[in-house]
Amino acid sequence: MRVGVPREIKVQEYRVGLTPGAVREYVAAGHQVTVETGAGSGIGASDEVYQRAGASVAASARDIFAKSDMIVKVKEPQASEWAQLREGQILFTYLHLAPDSEQAKGLLASGCTAIAYETVTDAAGHLPLLAPMSEVAGRLAIEAAGAALKRSAGGRGLLLGGVPGVQPARVVVLGGGVVGMQAARMAAGLGAEVTVIDRSIPRLRELDDIFVGRVRTRFSTIESVEEEVFAADVVIGAVLVPGASAPKLVTRAMLKSMRPGAVLVDVAIDQGGCFETSHPTTHTDPTYEVDGVVHYCVANMPGAVPVTSSQALNNATLPFGLMLAGKGFAAVLENPHLRNGLNVHRGRITNKAVAESLGLEFAPVESGLAA
């Protein structure tokens, strides 16, 4: 198969869809890989490095989109990209379609077959292509919170871990999945007082076993969220209902009862955010304030550490990408985990949660509607 890797064009996105190491694997499996010139510059991989790995280099994204059977990217396609996709072409990338009806329209109109990393599953029901970036974002969330807590940044002027004799910051993590666990781990490691809230009791049990008392756990209710958020210095938003828009756990009205200068880090912003007052921000201007509460809502946090993130992402996407390159759309029909990843096919939405969030008709690929 002809596999194409355009340069990422989202603001301050430095990751790349295929690392040179992954290119070698595709080439070894008999595929032709073309990368756009400069696609690897964010991770320090020059065109020559890609050529040595067996790729061809194209001068423009236009060449890549025109000549590839499958496009491998990192972030959701931007308007200029979805306009270049076509029927029969496979797009393999993050999409986060639920809160993004404009992109959904663009993908539907293109007729392409779009597989979203964030809804591909594994045998345990987890999200293996989201997990590595959630690990990165969870760890970064505490770095972001520490920076935003500084007085000069509009925060309360607290050190996360305090110092001997002075109390540490109170960090509340909403959602104890992959992001939440990594955030809790970093915050606890720095000496903060940490509480994780989740609606899954089995998950709270696991966290309790892992952190052996170092992190408090609470079941998610309106009351527990209010109590913890009102007393928090930092709230990390890390809830996910796969494919769907994030539930709004912190309302605008609640901000008035929060500590002035408290920090909200909404990692779930790519699914619309779990704070009512969240809107996406960028690495160049990551924070804003509402009612005295600092908001950090960068939708591509791992893009800030592209060397770590591209490697981690490629480790996870490689086996699925090779399946797609080897069998094309048949791989989606054969493999239930890739099928869960299928969001759009020939002008139809093929993922139920995504369709419901967008208010569009769900066309399961098995029904023949989207075949």
Ligand X SMILES: NC(=O)C1=CN([C@@H]2O[C@H](COP(=O)(O)OP(=O)(O)OC[C@H]3O[C@@H](n4cnc5c(N)ncnc54)[C@H](O)[C@@H]3O)[C@@H](O)[C@H]2O)C=CC1
Residues that bind ligand CC(=O)C(=O)O (CB under 6 A): 94, 96, 130, 133, 270, 300, 302
Is 96 annotated in the active site? yes
Query: Does residue 137 belong to the site contacting ligand X (CB under 6 A)?
Result: yes
Ligand-binding site membership of 293 (annotated)? no
Among the candidate windows 50-58, 68-76, 143-151, 295-303, which touches ligand X by CB under 6 A?
295-303
Interacting residues with ligand X between 191 and 210 (CB under 6 A): 197-200, 203
Q: Specify whether the CB–CB gap between 365 and 339 falls below 8 A.
A: yes
Q: Toward Mg ion, which CB reaches closer, 152 or 284?
A: 284
Nearer to ligand CC(=O)C(=O)O, 103 or 300 (CB): 300
- Closest approach, Cβ 207 to Mg ion, in A, equals 24
Nearer to ligand CC(=O)C(=O)O, 15 or 156 (CB): 15
Give the chain as a 3 state SS string.
CEEEECCCCCCCCCCCCCCHHHHHHHHHCCCEEEEECCCCHHHCCCHHHHHHHCCEEECCHHHHHHHCCEEECCCCCCHHHHCCCCCCCEEEECCCCCCCHHHHHHHHHHCCEEEEHHHCCCCCCCCCCCHHHHHHHHHHHHHHHHHHCCHHHCCCCCCCCCECCECCCEEEEECCCHHHHHHHHHHHHCCCEEEEEECCHHHHHHHHHHHCCCEEEEECCHHHHHHHHHCCCEEEECCCCCCCCCCCCECHHHHCCCCCCCEEEEHHHHHCCCECCCCCEECCECEEEECCEEEECECCHHHHCHHHHHHHHHHHHHHHHHHHHHHCHHHHHHCHHHHHHEEEECCEECCHHHHHHHCCCECCHHHCCCC
Q: Is 86 annotated as a binding residue?
A: no
β-strand partners of 5: 35
Residue 69 known to be catalytic: no
Q: Check the annotation: does 15 bind a ligand.
A: yes
Q: Which amino acid is at 14?
A: Y
Q: Quote the tokens at residue 241.
A: 């209902």
Q: Which residue, 177 or 302, has its beta carbon nearer to ligand CC(=O)C(=O)O?
A: 302
- Ramachandran bin of 257, using left for φ above 0, alpha for ψ from -120 to 50, beta for the remaining angles: alpha
269 assigned to a ligand binding site: yes
Least distance (Å) between residue 88 CB and ligand CC(=O)C(=O)O: 26
| Binder of residue 207, out of ligand X, ligand CC(=O)C(=O)O, Mg ion, none (CB less than 5 to 8 A by kind) | none
Query: Smaller CB distance to Mg ion: residue 193 or 270?
Result: 270
298 is in an annotated binding site: yes
Q: Does the footprint of ligand X cover residue 176 (CB under 6 A)? A: yes
Q: Is 270 annotated as a binding residue?
A: yes
Catalytically annotated residue among 100, 270, 337, 345? 270
Written as six digits, the tokens of 229 are 């958020």
Q: Smallest distance from the beta carbon of 96 to ligand CC(=O)C(=O)O, in angstroms?
A: 6
Map residues 244-283 to x or -, x wherever contact with ligand X holds by CB under 6 A: --xx-x-----------------xxxxx------------
Binding residues: 15, 75, 134, 198, 203, 220, 239-240, 267-270, 298-301
By annotation, the residues acting in catalysis are: 96, 270
**Which residues of the shown chain bind ligand X in the complex (CB under 6 A)?**
118, 127, 130-131, 133-134, 137, 174-180, 197-200, 203, 220, 238-241, 246-247, 249, 267-271, 299-302
Binding residues for substrate: 15, 75
